[in-house]
Amino acid sequence: MSEALAALEQTAVIARDLIRFDTTNFGEGRSAGEAEAADYVARALRDLGLRPETIESEPGRTSVVARVAGRNRDKPALVVHGHLDVVPADPANWSVDPFGGVIKDDALWGRGAVDMKNMDAMMLTALQDVIERQGAPERDLVIAFFADEEAGGVLGAQHVVTTRPDLFDGATEAISEVGGYSVTLGGTRAYLLQTGEKALLWLRLHATGVAAHGSHRVFDNAVTKVAAAVARIGSRDWPVRMSPTTTAMIDAIAQVLGVDPEQAGPDAIALATGSASRFITAALHTTSNPTVLRAGYKQNVIPDSAEALIDIRCLPGDEAYVLAEVRELAGPDVTVEVVLQDIGLEQPTDGALVTAMTSALQRHDPGAPVLPYLLSGGTDNKALSRLGIAGYGFVPMLLPETIDFPALFHGVDERIPLSALAFGRSVLADLLAEY
């Protein structure tokens, strides 16, 4: 082992080990499974003196939950959760093996490096630090590693919440992915704390037509119908819709940028946030992206059926109007089926947990503003909200200004600086020790 690897910080070691388990979730029920990664984290939890439970929704689809007794049993429990699955990675597009756990250029490369084996590892090392430092965290913790998040959590968080709600007894709040990372706003380093997430509508478009020879004059063509609907839905430029969370977000960003939010307008403020604008602009508008097209089997045969999958994210409460408009855009020849629908969330942008997360960050990065934001995607916090648990996104990471962090989510050459892993461990340990 080289000296550099021998000195590799423990969070990086665990994240690297987890990346090397291929836990690809292809969606629509197809998955490599999480069993090996679940065994690994369960072992790590047992090494900390805990008694993790494993919950299998289907063979190989394993979640792991452990409770850590806090020193102040009067406080409600905090859920700290991560998911073990990852989205697919095509090695042909990557400059390294996506499941190799490569350490290069002071970063850990691989599928899951930011989404979210980084946090899975931070959870374990931060907990270890807290136990070593003071024997126990301040309050009870429910440490959860879920399966199937990338397919909406049906076989992971949703299954655990439905079949084992007892595991979350006394928990009122949760922290998990896609928040707590640094962005650069007009030259100022700030942190985006996720205090809400958009609702999710996954739709399947389907059309039928006449099966015929590819040389015939056919207008009742299933492919043409679905393609036309896909083009209309995919190019819909949805207007700005504000919510309490996005209003607080835009006001806070405007303050850091030193502009008047009324005068500049939300879109201009979002665009001024550099690489973070990919997340911020998506929070302001409904998005309706076609993601899968399926039809046909031979170039000279017109198939009698065609389908497309559409990924829609909208503000909580906008689902009905968005769905109605999408049905209209799809037109009378195309059926629109809701494959999966899940709620959006908006949590208070102040309060004791927000204050604690902010001060834990600022202890390690003094003076940096911490702003609320609405996540354009979704997390397992949706499932936990069914138990009345208010979930936030808090994976504390100080990132170099040059990194296009939002692009790394589900992106090619996903990677995380080793320094960000160590930073996250320290901030998270402080939070769990004191909150």
Binding site for Zn ion (CB under 5 A): 115-116, 177
Minimum distance between the CB of residue 88 and Zn ion, rounded to whole angstroms? 14
Q: What tokens does 77 get? A: 């429990």
Q: At what angle do helices 10-20 and 418-434 cross, to 10 degrees?
A: 110
> Using CA atoms, how far apart are residues 232 and 31, in angstroms rounded to an integer?
31
Minimum distance between the CB of residue 83 and Zn ion, rounded to whole angstroms? 6
Minimum distance between the CB of residue 101 and Zn ion, rounded to whole angstroms? 18
Minimum distance between the CB of residue 177 and Zn ion, rounded to whole angstroms? 5
- Closest to Zn ion by CB, 148 vs 177, is 177
Minimum distance between the CB of residue 115 and Zn ion, rounded to whole angstroms? 4
Q: What tokens does 48 get? A: 């900390």
- Closest to Zn ion by CB, 151 vs 330, is 151
- Which residue's CB atom is positioned nearest to Zn ion? 115
Minimum distance between the CB of residue 338 and Zn ion, rounded to whole angstroms? 22
> Using CA atoms, how far apart are residues 110 and 284, in angstroms rounded to an integer?
30
Could you check whether the bond before residue 242 is cis, i.e. omega within 30 degrees of 0? no
- Closest to Zn ion by CB, 156 vs 290, is 156
φ and ψ at residue 276, rounded to 5 degrees: -70, -15
> Using CA atoms, how far apart are residues 155 and 57, in angstroms rounded to an integer?
6
> Using CA atoms, how far apart are residues 146 and 34, in angstroms rounded to an integer?
9
- Closest to Zn ion by CB, 65 vs 272, is 65
Minimum distance between the CB of residue 410 and Zn ion, rounded to whole angstroms? 9
- Closest to Zn ion by CB, 158 vs 221, is 158
Cα three-residue angle 334-285-268, rounded to 5 degrees: 145
- Return the H-helix or E-strand segment holding 67: strand 61-68
Q: What tokens does 5 get? A: 């690897």
Minimum distance between the CB of residue 367 and Zn ion, rounded to whole angstroms? 29
- Return the H-helix or E-strand segment holding 56: strand 53-58
Q: Do 410 and 87 form a contact (C-beta atoms < 8 A)?
A: yes
- Among all chains, which residue has been given the structure tokens 């990372």? 181
- Closest to Zn ion by CB, 116 vs 155, is 116
- Among all chains, which residue has been given the structure tokens 């136990």? 131
Minimum distance between the CB of residue 409 and Zn ion, rounded to whole angstroms? 7
- Closest to Zn ion by CB, 428 vs 433, is 428
Dihedral through CA 152, CA 157, CA 163, CA 166, nearest 10?
A: -150
Q: Do 192 and 179 form a contact (C-beta atoms < 8 A)?
A: yes
- Closest to Zn ion by CB, 365 vs 413, is 413
Dihedral sign computed on CA atoms, order 122, 124, 125, 129: positive
- Closest to Zn ion by CB, 82 vs 209, is 82
